Structure formats: structure tokens, C-alpha cells
Amino acid sequence: MAKVAVVGVGAIGSVIAALLQQGGHRVVLCARRPQAGLVVESPAGDVAVQAEVVTDAAAAPAVDWVLVATKAYDVAGAAQWLPGLCAQGAAVAVLQNGVEHRERFAPYLPVERILPVMVDCPVERQSATRVRQRGVMQLRVPQGALGNAFTQLFAGSPADAAEVPDFTSVVWRKLCFNSAGVLSALLLQPAGVVRGEALGEVALGIIEECAAVARAEGAVLEDDIAQVILQAQRAAPADGVNSMLADRRAGRPMELDARNGVIVRLGRKHSIATPRNAMAIALMEALTAPAS
């Protein structure tokens, strides 16, 4: 049994906490405010999370593992917890969107103790104390000693956790899927928005740009990856709410840079045009800019 800290008790962090608990581990929830009565509606039934809750980073106990499930834009906030939690050399698994997991946390701890994790799970927060998990939590990590130790944390849980030999391809494939999610956030509509012919074409263009950059970064993706992803998105529940849409509805910051900005930035690096992603970013920034 390990002592595992979860930093960021949002939708993903809540499900992770429930899974670790089901695996028999001691869970520490690191949050801004007290967490009481947290329940995850999993596919197999409700799981009431029983965990130690810490709201002061200065009081954080040393643990065996740190799992960071904050949004990608809140790295500085998450890093405040690391000195106490990692006092005995704990590894840090970064469960965030995008492809720059190690780069974000490299300023705060040795790179060899940072494990990037691809997370794929349809989950939505229903209230401050309730989370709805619509499907299996998939976790993919690079092969190696750290990756193996991480997957063992979930050995006794319903999670699908595995090491992969080509993490670059896996994480970029997920970003291809996430990239078109900006359309839901822009239009303030759930996942079914891409079922229309016109917006489906826009989504295809966004995904194709991401795939082109992914290949330049070394990812191996099928030629028709954009069509495959669009079909999967159209087959998903039409009322599904991705995290960007949820954040915009709630007036919170969004992971625009981690999900679309990185495509534009790395596109420039490889001289690959990404006009659709650039336009999506410009529109979102204009729509959410503070009134002057």
C-alpha cells in the first residue's frame, strides 16, 4: 500500500482518488478548500472517497507518489505542493492535457522524477461534491521503471493503466482528439456540435493541422486519423461536455494553450501552417477578453 497525493481535485483528480482508494492505497487530497462527501458516480456504481484532505501546502506530508491533476495553466499553483510532498524523493506523475508534461514541471524538480501521463476518461463534475464518470479511466505512460511503478498503483482498481513503447504517438493522438474540442467551447454547445456537416469540416481541418505537427514531432499516426477521430466524436454522447466548455461556462481560465496553442507554436517551429487552430485561438481570446 502506498501513500499517494492527488494535487487538483477536479473531475479527473476525483476519479483518480476513487481508483487509488479502490486499489487499497492511502490517499491525500491537496485542494484549495475542504473536501467533504466527495462521491464519484463510476460505471460500476457510486464510490465515496475517503481521504486525508490538506488545504495548506506548508502542511503537506511526505508521500510515496504525487499525481498532479490540475489544469495545464495552473502549474505554478501545483508546484507549491511539491516541496512538502516530495520531501522524501517522491516521483511526480503529471496527468494533464497536451504534450508538454515534463517541460511544465522541469523548473521545479529533476526531470527523471517526472512521469508524463496520457489520461482519457469521459468525466464531468456535477457539483462541488459529485463527479460523473461515463467510462473507463485510461492511463498511458512511457515504458520504464517509473512507468511500471505507476501502473502498479492501479493494479487493484478498475482503471486501464498501461506502459506503452511509443508514448509520443499516444499523447499526440490524444491531442488530435482534444484539439477540435475548442469548437464546443467557442459555441457554448456540447459534443454533438460536430455532427453537423459544416462544423464537421471545420473540426477535420483543426485535427489535420494537429496531425501534421504531430508527425513532425515524431508521432506515428494513420493517414486518415482526422476522419477516424471525427467519427468517434460523432458517435460519442451528444450531451458530453469537455473541460474547455465546462471551464468557459463557469468563467474559469481554459487550457487553450495546452490544447491548441501548442499546435500553432510547434507548427511555426516546423514551418507548418495551422490557420484553423490560430483562428480558433484568436476567436476565443476575443470572446473571453475582459470588457474595456
Annotated active-site positions, please?
174
Helix/strand number for the chain, H first, E second? 13, 12
Sheet holding 45-48, edge to edge: 45-48, 39-42, 130-133, 123-127
Query: Within its chain, how far is the Cα of 37 from the centroid?
Result: 24
Q: Where do we find the cell 507554436?
A: 265
Helices assigned H by DSSP within the chain:
11-22, 75-79, 82-85, 101-105, 145-152, 167-179, 182-187, 197-216, 225-235, 243-249, 256, 262-269, 275-288
CB of 51 within 8 A of CB of 29? yes
CB of 121 within 8 A of CB of 133? yes
Q: CA 4 to CA 157: how far, in whole Å?
A: 14
CB of 261 within 8 A of CB of 182? no
CB of 93 within 8 A of CB of 32? no
What burial class does residue 254 get, using C-beta atoms within 10 Å of its C-beta: 0-12 exposed, 13-18 middle, 19+ buried? buried
257 by DSSP, 3-state: which? helix
C-alpha cell read off for 186: 467557442
Q: CA 263 to CA 256: how far, in whole Å?
A: 10
